[in-house]
Every structure is written in C-alpha cells, then in structure tokens.
C-alpha cells in the first residue's frame, strides 16, 4: 500500500499500463511536456515521449476520433478532455462513433478506448468549467460511465477501464485531485466495472452517492448517526452498467433511499436509480426516494451562489430526514 493523491493514483495507473502495453498512448491538450492541464500526466511525457504522450491541438473531435481510430486498429488509447464541459466539441465522436461503432458493424470492432475527463465545481470555475455531465453518457447505450471517489478506486477502476475492451468515459472530479488515500502496490490492482462499493454499513437509510458527494455523504452520515439514524453509503463507482443488485439489497434492508450526485437534478442519473428502486424495490420502501443534486441552473460563479446550487452536507442530512414520513 502507498499513500497518494487521486491525481497520482491516476498517473501511476497510466504509467504502469503504458509500461505493460506498448500500444497504449494518451492524447489530449497539454498532456505532454506541460504535464496536463490539471497536472495528471505529470512526467509521463518525459518517460514515454511524443508519440505515446501526444499533445493535441484544441480539436476535441479529433482528440476523441484519434483515440477511436487507433483503438479499433490495434492500439489502446486514452483521449483526455480536460474539462467535461468541452464534450460538446466532440459529442458526435462520442455518442455517434465511439458508442456505436461496435454495434453498427455487427461486432466486428473492439474499441479499446478510455475517455478521461473531469467534472465538478466548488472551485469557482463558473458555468462552462464546473459541469458534471455523466448523465448524458448514462443515457446513450454503448459507452460505460465510471466515476471514482477515492485514489484506490481511481487506480483500480482506471485499470479495469483500460482493459475492458469497451469504450469507457472516466470522470475525475477536478476538486478531488488532491484527495489522499491508500492505494495497493499491486501493478495489476483492478476493481471490476459494474460493481458498487458499500463504504459504510447502516440499517436505516441507503445513501447512494458518487464522486465528491460520497465524502459529503460520509459527513452527513456521521451527523445523522448522532441523531440515531444509521446510513448505509453505497458508491456505485460504475454508473453504467449500474450494480442494481447491491443498491436494491440495501434498500430491502433499510427501507429508505437517498441518491446524491453533483449532476443536475432533472433527468440526472439519480432519476434512473430512483426509478429502478421504485420499479424493483417499491414494496421495500417506507418513504419517498429523495434525490440531492445540483439545482437546475447553470453553475454560477460567486461562491455564495455556487454553494447554493451545488449539493452540501446539510442537503443530504435534510434529505435523509425527509425519507422518514411524518
């Protein structure tokens, strides 16, 4: 085990996989000598050089398409889009090409591609640099959606994503890159996709949370514990394909459910999870399924406004209380 930040966990996983597989390369804006716009690629360019750590022009469609074209012709690729907010610039490549090319070709093609991008606010990034857009990709079939919440999860999930043989979009929270945690030394350490993690066992309310909200949920749970409410916190880790079984088993036990994510409330993947619970776990519920999410507004700049819009620990505490009907 080694103590490292989430950023280091991502970097070291990429490094070890690039050592193992000479066909794996990363392409993105400023990933080379600059070390990545958030610093993730670090010294990878110094180690692996231009061809395998490729600085791209500001051409997101080509960054994704380049990864795709290489990934279907004998390489493995990481296409980095430094801010998830930029996916509009490569949306066709993502949902019409990457997500569909295997299916459209009747299975002739294997897409060994991971799109790494970021999500999240709380940094004053404002409307066009703070969005969490994973919900869009949960909706489109053909691309897996992975969101790590700890350094260990980042390492294991990224390794799994790089070896899945399918396209994965991997969301790193830009305000979590400095989060420290223990990461196994094993160079093959993998966390299977499609498997949720129960961070904290509890008996009274299931709290499904992703990314930074996992940590907010933990704080909320500690507060609620003092009120005698025991929360079970589940991090799906892979949003699509979702580990429904773990969530439904938990609800069967606790009879209450709250879903927390930083994506907007309306049509966010929390609605999908809530719907699954309402469909397959309705008779286990003793209260409404509550969702804590960003207000349905663009993410504003001024911290007082941003904090109003984005989920806070108190919002989770309130939501849990609200699942217990008066």
Partner 1 sequence: MGSSASSKETLTADTALDLYRRLVLIRRFEEQVSKLYAKNKLPGFVHLYIGQEAVATGVCTNLRDSDYITSTHRGHGHTIAKGGDVNRMMAELYGKVTGYCKGKGGSMHITDMKIGMLGANGIVAGGIPIAVGAAYGAAKIRKTDQVVAAFFGDGATGEGPLWEGINITQAWSLPVIFVCENNLYGVGTRLGKVMGSEDLAPRVKGFGVPVEVVNGNDVVEVRKAASEAVERARKGKGPTFLECKTWRHRGHFEGENPTYFDQEEYNTWMKRDPLKTLESTIQKRGLADSQRLRDIQKQVDAQIQEAVEFAEASEFPKPEAALEDIFV
Minimum distance from residue 31 beta carbon to partner 1 (Å) = 14
Comparison of 52 and 252: residue with beta carbon closer to partner 1: 52
Place of tokens 């990545």: 36
Name every residue whose Cβ is closer than 8 Å to that of residue 212 and which is 6 or more positions away in sequence: 120, 122, 149, 173, 175, 176, 262
Minimum distance from residue 51 beta carbon to partner 1 (Å) = 4
DSSP-derived secondary structure letter, 129: S
Whose CA is closest to 255, among 324, 309, 193, 311? 324
Comparison of 93 and 131: residue with beta carbon closer to partner 1: 93
Minimum distance from residue 59 beta carbon to partner 1 (Å) = 4
Q: Which of 38, 129, 173, 256 is catalytic?
A: 129
Comparison of 68 and 207: residue with beta carbon closer to partner 1: 68
Is 139 assigned a catalytic role?
Answer: no
Interface contacts to partner 1, rule CB under 8 A: 22-23, 25, 27, 51-52, 54, 56-57, 59, 61-62, 64-75, 77, 92-93, 96-97, 101-110, 141-142, 144, 164-166
Name every residue whose Cβ is closer than 8 Å to that of residue 202 and which is 6 or more positions away in sequence: 221, 230, 231, 232, 233, 254
DSSP-derived secondary structure letter, 24: E
Comparison of 136 and 264: residue with beta carbon closer to partner 1: 136
CB 11 within 8 A of CB 40: yes
Name every residue whose Cβ is closer than 8 Å to that of residue 49 and which is 6 or more positions away in sequence: none
Minimum distance from residue 223 beta carbon to partner 1 (Å) = 40
Q: Give kind and range of the element (H or E) at residue 20.
A: helix 6-20
Comparison of 111 and 289: residue with beta carbon closer to partner 1: 111
Q: Say if residue 236 is exposed, middle or buried (CB neighbours under 10 Å; 0-12, 13-18, 19+).
A: buried
Minimum distance from residue 72 beta carbon to partner 1 (Å) = 7
CA–CA distances in Å: residue 119 to residues 35, 41, 62, 311: 19, 17, 21, 14
Catalytic amino acids?
129
């Amino acid at each position: 085990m080694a103590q490292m930040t989430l950023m280091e966990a991502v970097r070291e996983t990429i490094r070890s996989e690039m050592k193992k597989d000479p066909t794996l390369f990363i392409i993105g804006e400023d990933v080379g000598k600059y070390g990545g716009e958030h610093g993730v690629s670090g010294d990878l360019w110094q180690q692996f050089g231009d061809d395998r750590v490729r600085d791209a022009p500001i051409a997101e469609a080509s960054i994704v398409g380049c990864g795709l074209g290489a990934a279907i012709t004998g390489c493995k690729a990481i296409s980095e889009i430094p801010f998830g907010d930029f996916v509009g610039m490569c949306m066709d490549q993502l949902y019409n090409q990457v997500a569909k090319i295997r299916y459209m070709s009747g299975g002739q093609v294997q897409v060994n591609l991971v799109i790494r991008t970021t999500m999240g606010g709380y940094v004053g990034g404002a409307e066009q640099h703070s969005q969490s857009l994973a919900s869009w990709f949960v909706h489109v079939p053909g691309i897996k959606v992975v969101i790590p919440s700890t350094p260990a999860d980042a390492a294991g999930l990224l390794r799994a994503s790089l070896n899945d043989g399918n396209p994965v979009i991997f969301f790193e929270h830009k305000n979590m890159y400095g989060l420290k945690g223990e990461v196994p030394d094993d160079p093959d350490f993998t966390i299977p996709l499609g498997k949720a993690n129960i961070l904290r066992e509890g008996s009274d309310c299931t709290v499904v949370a992703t990314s930074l909200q996992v940590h907010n949920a933990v704080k909320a749970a500690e507060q609620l514990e003092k009120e005698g409410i025991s929360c079970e916190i589940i991090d799906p880790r892979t949003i699509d394909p979702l580990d429904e079984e773990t969530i439904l088993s938990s609800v069967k036990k606790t009879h209450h459910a709250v879903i927390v994510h930083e994506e907007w409330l309306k049509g966010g993947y929390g609605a999908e999870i809530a719907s699954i619970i309402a469909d397959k776990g309705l008779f286990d519920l003793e209260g409404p399924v509550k969702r804590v999410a960003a207000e349905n507004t663009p993410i504003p700049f001024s911290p007082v406004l941003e904090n109003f819009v984005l989920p806070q620990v108190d919002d989770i505490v309130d939501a849990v209380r609200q699942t217990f009907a008066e």
